[in-house]
């Protein structure tokens, strides 16, 4: 089959972009809450204030004249990430694993000279990666080191767990695995693999790559199915907490699991993508309806986590 | 939910749009389709100049009724100026004068011209008077040399005229012609010399200046051709003496070697001519009838605007249609494009260049722009300076393409100047970022998506019945607005999503 008929998609409750925007994002997400999730720095500060762990902020560069002190700000940190505070879709992120006085080793292998780092930071500041080209800030933060559980199923980068919540209830989750095509990035649009995750036990179910069903990692050849995500209930709890902080009705929360620090909040998204449905081979609509009909009974955090585990 | 409010608003818009539309058709008798059978044209000349607070006098030639064109109506807009029309050397001219005036002035001449049916029997006219060319001494001898030599090589009047014209037009001129023409003769000098030389032999060759009647043209260029009187009729020739056939729908403006106009007591005289088909003659008739009791709607008609402004609105009113098309393509089809309304702006310029040329220019400029952009990437420039640099190169590219096109005789190249260069620059920048981040296939997909949308929009913009409908019935745009509102609440699947989610159709 080269395509699906609309009624086939409707029967499975698949949500399209128009429906996501018209029925969920516009009515349930207050526009004034967007800056909180669009600016990764604000997300991080807010999370830390409320006791949610996030990658440690090493340095913040807000204006062009601060760029000259980039080297001294990095100090003797060997491994770190540079990212735009207002970036989207994983754009503009550089990951470094080692540093000398004026050269830095990227996760892909090549060394970058200091000037190139400075140039990249300047590009971030002028807004090259931000929504609508707004002037931006550059974040230098802790490089997450993946939990060893994920080693056989990821290529260079760090896999992350995307959880979609509706009215504060986790409704769907997926594990995003970097590949060589995605250049170590955990973004599905760039070629990463999305594996659906069972809400009940945190095990991967099915996986998708570029719209096609897959069961093995293309680079490592290891099976992606039936993988147990560690700290599953803790991840759901953090996601619910994040959703409450953001006060957005329809939200995607991205979490990573560091081998030393455990679950960390990476970012939140007010318009999370729809590929998660393909990864889970399940539509979002029926789950959203279910939450809507039970919303009265779901006031506290624990009950929402329990509801998610029991229902989806 | 909120949907009901959207439906009410859309219904109100559609009702009022259709209401006015049908009222105009059935009650006022507006035509639904353009009337292209009548060859009636609006011609408007705007005469602009600067004055310095003294008295000023401006003169401009204006067309006159001939055996082929009849001027049905003409009017002058010249507030405060004294106006007289005079006949000079069988040409008509309008002369405006004023005692004291300062600043920039613009006067208008407006005419409604009908092309007459050509009768098969050619009308014979009396031979006109031959003017004395007033050659003296060596010049007279040189002119006589040219005349006798050309006469020896020709059989009749027409071939003699051609012979003389080819001598004055030749790249390396003989002694006689170079003596008469001087070092750097203009095209007009050459033709005027040919006319004077032939006058010695009592052959009347006159230079005609005119315009082509093409629909919806602002800044119509003046074209020049020749007429020779032979066998009792006037025969049209091009500047090399060959019979010119493509003078259909060409309105003669004036004859002779003078410029179209002159000014005394002012400076920077500019005369621009605009033409449009008078297809709404039925509309004009409605507007003109019953001056005393005009319905309110007619007072607010676009036809009350000057011709130049009408031309602008003819295009401007189509833009919302392009916007609606983009809504369809993006929200119903799911076609990826760079920038929301970029394709509409590109389509507006395709309208001037024609689609094929437009596509070639667009692809060429974007492709070369991308090469420049990738080269600039290596120089590690900051965003805004880099954008400005790409913009500069885009403008230079447009200039080069226009010059090249002109050299190869493709006049479409000139209208490339209307290309939205800032939009092109942003397209190049975004395309290169998509190229870097998501790969060449995504970048090309979006690039061709934009081009496809632009081509579709161009088809809508150049479809004449649509242009007529929207211009005569601008209230139809209310319906377009209503459809936009309705699509704003469309939450169904996009066509591309049917493929994206195809995995759901497969049996597990």
ipTM score of complex: 0.81
Residue with tokens 């082509």: B212
From the list B380, B491, B503, which residue is nearest A281 (CB)?
Answer: B503
Which chain A residues are within 8 Å of B490, Cβ to Cβ? 18, 22
How is residue A238 written in tokens?
């953090």
From the list A14, A119, A133, which residue is nearest B504 (CB)?
Answer: A14
How is residue A112 written in tokens?
């970058």
Which chain A residues are within 8 Å of B383, Cβ to Cβ? 123, 126-128, 133
pLDDT at site B281: 57
How is residue A158 written in tokens?
């760090």
Which chain A residues are within 8 Å of B438, Cβ to Cβ? 189-190
pLDDT at site A264: 94
How many angstroms separate the Cα of A260 from the Cα of each of A57, A144, A146, A154? 16, 9, 9, 18
Q: Do B501 and A14 touch (CB under 8 A)?
A: yes
Read off the pLDDT of residues A9-68 as tens digits, 9 standing for 90 and up.
999 899 999 999 989 999 999 988 988 888 999 999 999 999 999 999 999 999 888 888
Cα distance between residue A265 and residue A256, in whole Å: 7
Instruction: Tell me which residue of B241, B252, B156 sits closest to B213, measured CA to CA.
Output: B252
Instruction: Search chain A and give the residue with CA nearest B438.
Output: A190
Instruction: Tell me which residue of B446, B259, B458, B275 sits closest to B357, measured CA to CA.
Output: B458
How close A85 comes to chain B (CA, Å)? 17
How many angstroms separate the Cα of B26 from the Cα of each of A190, B19, B20? 58, 11, 10
Task: Provide the number of CB pairs (under 8 Å) joining chain A to chain B.
Answer: 95
Residue A282 in contact with residue A12, Cβ under 8 Å? yes
- Residue range A204-230: average pLDDT? 89
Instruction: Tell me which residue of B252, B208, B254, B204 sits closest to B229, measured CA to CA.
Output: B204
* Interface residues on A facing B, Cβ-Cβ cutoff 8 A: 1-6, 8-10, 12, 14, 16-19, 21-23, 27, 89, 91, 115-116, 119, 122-123, 126-128, 133, 189-190, 208, 211-213, 277-278, 281, 283
How many angstroms separate the Cα of B13 from the Cα of each of B28, B269, B320? 21, 47, 15
Residue B214's SS3 state is coil
Which helix (H) or strand (E) element contains residue A262? strand A262-269
Residue A54 in contact with residue A262, Cβ under 8 Å? no
Cα distance between residue A170 and residue A288, in whole Å: 10
Residue with tokens 């209930």: A233
Cα distance between residue B167 and residue B176, in whole Å: 10
Instruction: Search chain A and give the residue with CA nearest B488.
Output: A22
pLDDT at site B292: 47
How is residue B10 written in tokens?
């859309």
Partner residues linked to B70 by β-bridges:
B114
Three-class secondary structure assignment of B37-90: CCCEEEEEEEEEEEEECCCEEEEEEECCCCCCEEEEEEEEECCCCEEEEEEECC
Cα distance between residue A70 and residue A73, in whole Å: 5
How close B419 comes to chain A (CA, Å)? 23
Which chain B residues are within 8 Å of A116, Cβ to Cβ? 380
Instruction: Search chain A and give the residue with CA nearest B332.
Output: A18
Cα distance between residue B116 and residue B69, in whole Å: 6
How close B33 comes to chain A (CA, Å)? 37
Cα distance between residue A126 and residue B132, in whole Å: 74
From the list B489, B494, B505, which residue is nearest A16 (CB)?
Answer: B494
How close A280 comes to chain B (CA, Å)? 10
Q: Do A8 and B499 touch (CB under 8 A)?
A: no
Q: Do B382 and A122 touch (CB under 8 A)?
A: yes
- Strands A138-142 and A80-84 turn out to be antiparallel
Instruction: Search chain A and give the residue with CA nearest B380.
Output: A119
Q: Do A12 and B489 touch (CB under 8 A)?
A: no
Read off the pLDDT of residues A106-157 as tens digits, 9 standing for 90 and up.
887 889 999 889 989 998 998 888 776 788 999 999 999 989 999 888 888 8
pLDDT at site A54: 93
Q: Do A116 and B382 touch (CB under 8 A)?
A: no
Instruction: Tell me which residue of A136, A101, A100 sits closest to A120, measured CA to CA.
Output: A136
Residue B98's SS3 state is strand
Q: Phi and psi (nearest 5°) for B84?
A: -145, 145
Residue A33's SS3 state is helix
Instruction: Search chain B and give the residue with CA nearest A91.
Output: B437
Q: Name the more confident of B150 and A241.
A: A241
Cα dihedral value A221, A258, B438, B419, nearest 10? 170
Residue B88 contacts A where some CB pair is shorter than 8 Å: no
Instruction: Search chain A and give the residue with CA nearest B331.
Output: A18
The pLDDT-based confidence of A1 (bands split at 50, 70, 90) is low
- Region of poorest pLDDT, from A205-214, A237-246, B408-417: B408-417
Which chain B residues are within 8 Å of A9, Cβ to Cβ? 493, 497-498, 501, 504-505
Length of chain B: 508
Instruction: Search chain B and give the residue with CA nearest A121.
Output: B382
pLDDT at site A60: 93
Residue A199 in contact with residue A309, Cβ under 8 Å? yes
Contacts of A149 (CB under 8 A, 6+ apart): A227, A228, A229, A230, A257
Read off the pLDDT of residues A279-302 as tens digits, 9 standing for 90 and up.
999 999 999 999 999 888 888 888
In which residue ranges of chain B is pLDDT below 50?
121, 290-292, 413
């Amino acid at each position: 089959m080269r395509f699906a008929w609309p009624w086939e998609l409707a029967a499975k409750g698949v949500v399209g972009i128009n429906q996501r925007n018209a029925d969920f994002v516009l009515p349930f997400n207050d526009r004034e809450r967007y800056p909180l999730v669009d600016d990764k720095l604000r997300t991080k500060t807010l999370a830390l204030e409320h006791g949610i762990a996030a990658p440690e902020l090493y340095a913040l560069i807000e204006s062009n004249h601060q760029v000259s002190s980039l080297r001294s700000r990095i100090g003797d940190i060997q491994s770190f990430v540079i990212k735009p505070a207002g970036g989207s879709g994983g754009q503009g992120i550089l990951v470094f694993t080692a540093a000398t006085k004026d050269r830095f080793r990227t996760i892909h292998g090549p060394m970058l000279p200091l000037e190139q780092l400075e140039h990249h930071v300047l590009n971030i500041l002028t807004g090259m990666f931000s929504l609508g080209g707004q002037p931006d800030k550059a974040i230098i933060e802790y490089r997450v080191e993946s939990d060893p559980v994920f080693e056989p199923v990821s290529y260079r980068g760090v896999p992350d767990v995307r959880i979609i919540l509706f009215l504060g209830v986790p409704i769907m989750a997926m594990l995003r695995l970097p590949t060589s095509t995605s250049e170590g990035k955990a973004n599905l649009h760039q070629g990463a693999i999305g594996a659906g995750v069972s809400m009940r036990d945190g095990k991967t179910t099915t996986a998708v790559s570029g719209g096609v069903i897959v069961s093995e990692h293309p680079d490592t050849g290891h099976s992606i199915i039936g993988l147990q995500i560690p700290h599953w209930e803790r991840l759901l709890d953090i996601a619910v907490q994040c959703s409450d902080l953001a006060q957005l009705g329809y939200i995607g929360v991205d979490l990573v699991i560091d081998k030393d620090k455990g679950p960390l909040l990476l970012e939140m998204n007010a318009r999370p993508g729809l590929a998660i449905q393909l990864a889970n081979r399940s539509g979002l609509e029926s789950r959203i309806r279910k939450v809507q009909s039970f919303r009265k009974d779901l006031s506290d955090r624990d009950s929402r986590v329990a509801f998610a585990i029991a229902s989806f | 939910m909120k949907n009901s409010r959207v439906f009410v608003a859309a219904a109100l818009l559609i009702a009022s749009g259709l209401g006015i539309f049908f009222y105009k058709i059935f009650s006022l008798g507006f035509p639904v389709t353009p009337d292209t059978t009548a060859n009636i044209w609006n011609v408007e000349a705007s005469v602009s100049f600067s004055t310095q607070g003294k008295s000023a006098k401006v003169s401009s030639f204006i067309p006159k009724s001939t055996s082929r064109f009849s001027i049905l109506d003409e009017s002058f807009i010249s507030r405060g100026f004294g106006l007289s029309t005079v006949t000079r050397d069988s040409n008509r001219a309008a002369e405006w004068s004023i005692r004291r005036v300062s600043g920039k002035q613009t006067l208008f001449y407006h005419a409604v011209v009908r092309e007459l049916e050509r009768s098969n029997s050619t009308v014979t006219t009396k031979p006109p008077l031959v003017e004395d060319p007033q050659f003296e001494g060596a010049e007279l001898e040189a002119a006589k040399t040219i005349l006798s030599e050309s006469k020896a090589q020709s059989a009749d009047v027409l071939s003699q005229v051609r012979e003389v014209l080819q001598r004055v037009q030749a790249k390396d001129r003989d002694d006689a012609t170079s003596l008469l023409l001087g070092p750097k003769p203009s095209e007009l000098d050459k033709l005027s010399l040919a006319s004077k030389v032939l006058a010695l032999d009592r052959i009347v060759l006159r230079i005609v200046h005119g315009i082509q009647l093409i629909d919806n043209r602002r800044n119509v260029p003046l074209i020049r051709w020749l007429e020779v009187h032979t066998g009792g009729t006037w025969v049209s020739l091009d500047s090399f003496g060959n019979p010119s056939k493509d003078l259909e729908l060409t309105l003669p403006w004036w004859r002779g070697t003078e410029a179209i106009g002159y000014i005394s007591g002012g400076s920077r005289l500019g005369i621009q001519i605009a033409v449009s088909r008078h297809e709404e003659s039925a509309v004009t008739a409605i507007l003109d009838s019953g001056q005393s009791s005009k319905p309110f709607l007619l007072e607010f008609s676009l036809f009350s605007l000057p011709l130049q402004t009408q031309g602008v609105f003819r295009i401007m009113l189509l833009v919302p249609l392009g916007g609606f098309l983009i809504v369809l393509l993006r929200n119903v089809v799911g076609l990826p494009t760079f920038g929301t309304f970029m394709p509409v702006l590109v389509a507006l310029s395709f309208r001037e260049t024609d689609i094929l040329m437009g596509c070639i220019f667009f692809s060429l400029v974007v492709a070369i722009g991308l090469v420049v952009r990738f080269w600039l990437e290596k120089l590690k420039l900051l965003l805004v300076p880099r954008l400005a640099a790409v913009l500069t190169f885009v403008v230079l590219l447009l200039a080069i393409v226009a010059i090249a096109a002109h050299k190869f005789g493709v006049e479409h190249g000139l209208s490339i100047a209307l290309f939205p260069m800032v939009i092109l620059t942003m397209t190049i920048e975004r395309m290169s970022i998509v190229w870097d981040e998501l790969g060449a296939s995504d970048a090309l997909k979006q690039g061709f998506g934009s081009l496809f949308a632009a081509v579709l929009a161009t088809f809508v913009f150049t479809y004449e019945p649509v242009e007529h409908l929207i211009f005569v019935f601008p209230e139809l745009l209310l319906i377009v607005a209503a459809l936009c509102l309705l699509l704003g609440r469309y939450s169904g699947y996009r066509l591309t999503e049917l493929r994206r989610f195809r995995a759901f159709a497969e049996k597990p």
